[in-house]
A and B are shown apart, each in its own frame.
Chain A
């Protein structure tokens, strides 16, 4: 694991010093993060890096997960879909399993949760834990990573009754905030430039990965990395590829996705993607294991264009990863992608497969423009979306939560 000082060469000495100073009053504080998976998906990746860094700064940080049976994940996947606007009613029997599973997890987690000074509950899966910790001494914060801008109301109404008991919420964008009786903090997520997903790789390693999957690096490559999830619109990506292929017959598409233990729909969507692919040998559909971070890194570095054609997106860390590798990104005009893909500067935002195809053609025909956008994209990430900024905002938030709700929090040495 990288030490916090290793980030100085990327983010600057002053940034690291800033973190140490902010963390000084928080030393010894007991902080617990809870989500529903240790592998797969952006939340697990962030916690995997953020928690050790907090510990290195002297904070007694822990990461716990809730676990359940398949029906629990079926229920929470429905929550996820509903909160992002899909009409997905959840049956009463699934809601009972959701609550019962949280009650069972609370039996195990109660001592550490009730003893914590700060508890961060990530996404809806562990939301009811708070109700099962009546003797909690610390502040509890709900961290929502989902695009909650236009939720399916009946499901939000059900979940909201758990959220209102929290001391604060965190959203990635103001657009996701909802009427709630507590402060709603805004913190965009981040990537770790020193993780296997993002470190520099040798040319030979990249070539080995391309050879392994039969990808020809002498021809243009476009890549979308994401779970096989309908909100990521992988089928729309294939349609965009087919439209663009008319102008660029050499084009190859790579759809690389992993699985997450809390995502029961992945296999179904993967089947739809394979059906849409048909016998096209220039489409590579790769189901990668959760630990394949370096391979994903290699694919992103080898790609000419990164796509993230989501129709809903909480943030889109794969966009950030692509931008960090100096690639222009064609992203869906939604959610957190809007914060990262600055139209005509760091990439293009699109609404349809046709729009994506237009921009693919545009960039493939102008490699100098793609290069210029890639440089801007990397710098934009360096300034705004690295884990050092994320950690600073968490530390500031923790101080603000502990010191009160005043507009100004003054810390004395």
Chain B
């Protein structure tokens, strides 16, 4: 196994926090939701799919995005909630493609129902976007064999940055761990392949950390 490669920069652990910002746009029925989705800031679509991982919420294993949650709890439209909940953002090349899919699903539902339900005060859908504040933790490793232990010590914010946020920075949904290991050549190709198989969407960040740590330890044949 490699003991480090002089041509590859050390892996630098970063951490992040999200700052939520109200866009001021709100929807009181499904048609309004569709209309806002046509031109809402991309960051808002990102926030409503991924932001829940880093913000106060009660674990609801049924739904992984805010659009599905709103359809279920406020519109009480179970058909729509199911269709929205199954949308997996990592299946889409970019946020524009995800936006189009959301609009398609909602328009199909609008075709099926006679008139959209209106929700009462306090039940509107509020479009929120976020700023991400990224900082360097000062942790560095240059030996890939140390990566599994490093991952297991990372905060939820670090996991978000290196796995979820990385998908916006790299094409084809690469995470930072795979990108770094790829720099060492084919030696860590199996680990990269195993990392690609970890689904980051349907789990909490702490579960995701455990899964990634476990996958890397298996690849590096390290004891748990």
Contact = CB atoms under 8 A, between A and B. Distances in A.
Interface in B48-102: 56-58
A175 B131 contact: no
A338 interface: yes
Given A186-B128, A397-B19, A22 B56 contact: no
Interface string A291-318: 0000000000000000000000000000
Nearest to A395: B17
Q: Is the interface of B mostly helix, strand, loop or mixed?
A: strand
A186 B122 contact: no
Contacts of A385: 56
B214 interface: no
Given A174-B128, A400-B131, A21 B24 contact: no
Interface string B106-133: 0000000000000001101010111111
A274 B162 CA distance: 58
B124 to A, nearest CB: 7
Nearest to A85: B121
A396 B133 contact: yes
Contacts of A395: 17
Nearest to A169: B22
Given A22-B17, A397-B19, A400-B19, A413 B136 contact: yes
Interface string A6-19: 00000000110110
B19 A396 contact: yes
A150 B56 contact: no
A195 interface: no
Interface residues of B, number: 31
A268 interface: no
A186 B19 CA distance: 7
A300 B161 CA distance: 39
A311 B15 CA distance: 40
Nearest to B41: A407
A186 B22 contact: yes
A188 B124 CA distance: 18
A177 B24 CA distance: 6
A403 B26 CA distance: 28
Given A18-B15, A150-B121, A177-B22, A342 B131 contact: no
Interface of A: 14-15, 17-18, 21-22, 24-25, 149-150, 171, 174-175, 177-180, 183-188, 333-335, 338-339, 342, 345-346, 380, 383-385, 389, 392-393, 395-397, 399-400, 403, 405-413
Given A186-B21, A406-B131, A411-B133, 5 more contacts: A18-B155, A150-B121, A333-B122, A407-B43, A411-B136
25 contacts: A14-B155, A18-B17, A18-B155, A18-B157, A21-B15, A21-B135, A149-B122, A174-B26, A174-B126, A179-B24, A180-B24, A185-B19, A187-B20, A188-B56, A339-B56, A345-B58, A346-B58, A399-B133, A400-B133, A407-B43, A408-B134, A409-B132, A411-B134, A412-B136, A413-B135
